[in-house]
Chains A and B, each alone.
Chain A
Amino acid sequence: MSGRLTECFATLKEDNRKALIPYITAGDSNPTITVPLMHRMVEAGADIIELGVPFSDPMADGPTIQLACERALEHHTSLHDVVDMVTEFRQTNTTTPIVLMGYLNPVEAFGYEEFAKAAKECGIDGLLTVDLPPEESTQLVAVLKKYDIDPIFLLSPTTTEDRIGKIVHAGSGYLYYVSLKGVTGSSALNVDEVATNVAKIKTQTTLPVGVGFGIKDAESASAVAAVSDGVIVGSAIVKIIENNPDDTDTILDQIGALLSSMREAMDK
């Protein structure tokens, strides 16, 4: 298990705070903005960063993340580039955990072993591949564990108790609970249902549970934080980039302001 993720959640627990986990797609809207944006998000209160690896066919994502992938791919942002970005980020930040999130094929093209080795060297802490359920993950998980990279898995409202058991067994670092049926960027969030399902997951594991999908402002962040260990914010952040693709200052300022407001509401 990665030191940074364990330490991060342990510290949060001591302080009685919940993790704020923003997601951005690497290379969106251009590769030069990604590292400065990561630093700004940490300044604004991010505890962990989920860095999206662009993919040509992001089937589990809604239009917002899909367009982010398309913008990043216009600049040919590859998994190799993402590794370089993390290397650059680590020159001045050695503590904030970084989890890559994406689809399996870029990792297969890189090579499992080669990727895990590069990830370890540059300071990547976890990997979430959306289209890799635990049933298919044996080979990749073994390689990741060898290099102390946490395999992060999704859980959904439809995940059966039996499969919750499999998933918590395969995963480490934290678990990502998808709060609703649908793709990223969907709207209807039911906090009571989230609370019930997170509690159900917690009966089978001591791993922290982060909740994503449908969190877009300080209010929803604070509500979800109250019933989980962390709040994952993706589309609401990426939407800011979509609205200001050529304006780096506005992107940094607006995303910084959104995260600060969430941080404040969550810590109240």
Chain B
Amino acid sequence: MSTVRTETVNGRKNSQIKNDLNDHDLSNVDLSTIDWDNLADENGHFGIYGGCFASETLMEAIQELDEAYNSLKNDPEFQASYDNDLRNYVGRPSPLYHAERWSKQLGGAQIYLKREDLNHTGAHKINNTIGQALLAKHMGKPRIIAETGAGQHGVATATIAARLGLECVVYMGEVDVERQAPNVYRMKLLGAEVRPVSSGSKTLKDALNEAMRDWVTNVDNTFYCIGTVAGPHPYPSMVRNFQTIIGREAKEQCLEQTGRLPDALIACIGGGSNAIGLFHEFLADLDVKIYGVEAAGHGLATGEHAAPLSMAKPGVLHGNRMYLMADKDGQVVEPHSISAGLDYPGVGPEHCLLKDLGRSHAVAVTDDEAMEAFHSLTRIEGIIPALESSHALAYAMKLAPTMDKDKTIIINLSGRGDKDINTVAALEGIKL
């Protein structure tokens, strides 16, 4: 864990980003000198965050994955089949939509929505599962497993598994099985086996624990498809690379539609995959402000939230060091969010480093604020957003009015809200 290794691996540019638990203050780093494409060293350390904190029983599988991914990521044939799937199976590029009526109502900056909700399966998750499933196929693994919170990643994994003829098992917390019933049924229709997880808080983190146990046990024939930018290296970098298509398209579309870069980006953050997908392409554009919106649940002060970037300290869980909601003894705290996809106690290591560097701003909105945004966008633009994405929208409702009308904000509308209508109806006392 020496600073020396970081220097030699990253070159002089990122030598200020130290990987030393006793000395990792980044407040004096000059952001204009950072090489944003290579924030991690070759072992996946984003400063003190990330890394590969996995049990020995998994190390060989992780290294096998790392080697396979490294050999394929620049392979033109692999890239071509990935690109082809994104275009013809997912329906990319997704539009960048100027929400004129909503912008007008908020009375400030012009809001553009990156319409990941229009992707096949209804969220950004499929960008990643296609990449990983192609990798699994290439590695000769006939069985693919995944964890899921809102069910979007599970559905996206089951979808591509169906298309590639892979066996698929999805782990999902019992609480989430209940609140995301439509997605559970979709996965079953797609031929996946959904295994409810009854341990711990019965949500996303417990599903991840169970998936890791499965992987350890069936390591020979099984590929673990992680849905977010967390987990042991190489997952945070690999999943990010499969999601950066969002930001690359958004940048091009924004330049085409407005003639310049946006002034701000907003995305919700659970593990952080949709957010890093949007943010990454803009990191070097230091004039573009970046806001990651966490779930404040019942309110940050209540302790019932899912906002590790805003409220927690670094800790180690699920194979990487990250901001982690834990008590003074290091036990992981059960998070709370109305949105199953944000209901996770940690956050991907790259987001942790971006926050420490001051390149991104961690903000949080409550369940109630997210619900208000959900209804507002639905009624004014005719777009039903996912509850996860509604957190990003809710922050835009605060930020946009403080900005001039000639400023622009891009929001990642990471998923559609069809899966959430049962939750929303229940909140309003309606039984569907």
Contacts and interface: CB of A to CB of B under 8 A. Distances in A.
Contacts of A45: none
A133 B213 contact: no
Interface in A109-132: 109-110, 112, 130-132
Report the contact-size class of chain B (Cβ under 8 Å from the partner): 35 or more
A183 B54 contact: no
Contacts of A63: 199
Contact of B56 (A55, A107, A156): A156
Interface in B20-72: 20-21, 43, 51-57, 59-61, 63
Contacts of B328: 109
B65 to A, nearest CB: 13
A178 B57 contact: yes
Interface stretch (A15-23, A135-143, A228-236, A256-264): A135-143
A133 B56 contact: yes
Contact of A130 (B43, B55, B205): B55
A35 interface: no
A59 B213 contact: yes
A54 B329 CA distance: 10
B330 A60 contact: no
Contact of B55 (A56, A60, A70): A60
Interface in B201-228: 205-206, 208-209, 212-213, 216-220
A55 B57 contact: no
A136 B53 contact: yes
Contacts of A106: 329-331
B318 interface: yes
A134 to B, nearest CB: 9
Interface in B163-207: 199-200, 205-206
A78 B329 contact: yes
Nearest to B217: A182
Contact of A136 (B51, B209, B219): B51
B3 to A, nearest CB: 11
B17 interface: no
A62 interface: yes
A55 B199 CA distance: 13
A155 interface: yes
A194 to B, nearest CB: 15
A181 B205 contact: no
Interface stretch (A157-165, A201-209, A237-245, A246-254): A157-165
B315 interface: yes
- Select the residue from A60, A66, A132, A167 with max chain B CB neighbours within 10 A: A60
A154 interface: yes
B326 interface: yes
Contact of B324 (A70, A105, A155, A182): A105
- Select the residue from B1, B20, B212 with max chain A CB neighbours within 10 A: B1
Across the A-B interface, the 4 shortest Cβ-Cβ residue pairs: A109-B330, A106-B330, A158-B60, A78-B329
25 contacts: A57-B205, A57-B318, A59-B55, A59-B208, A59-B209, A62-B213, A78-B329, A105-B316, A105-B317, A105-B326, A107-B330, A109-B326, A112-B21, A131-B54, A133-B56, A135-B43, A156-B56, A156-B60, A158-B60, A159-B56, A178-B56, A181-B57, A181-B216, A181-B219, A183-B216
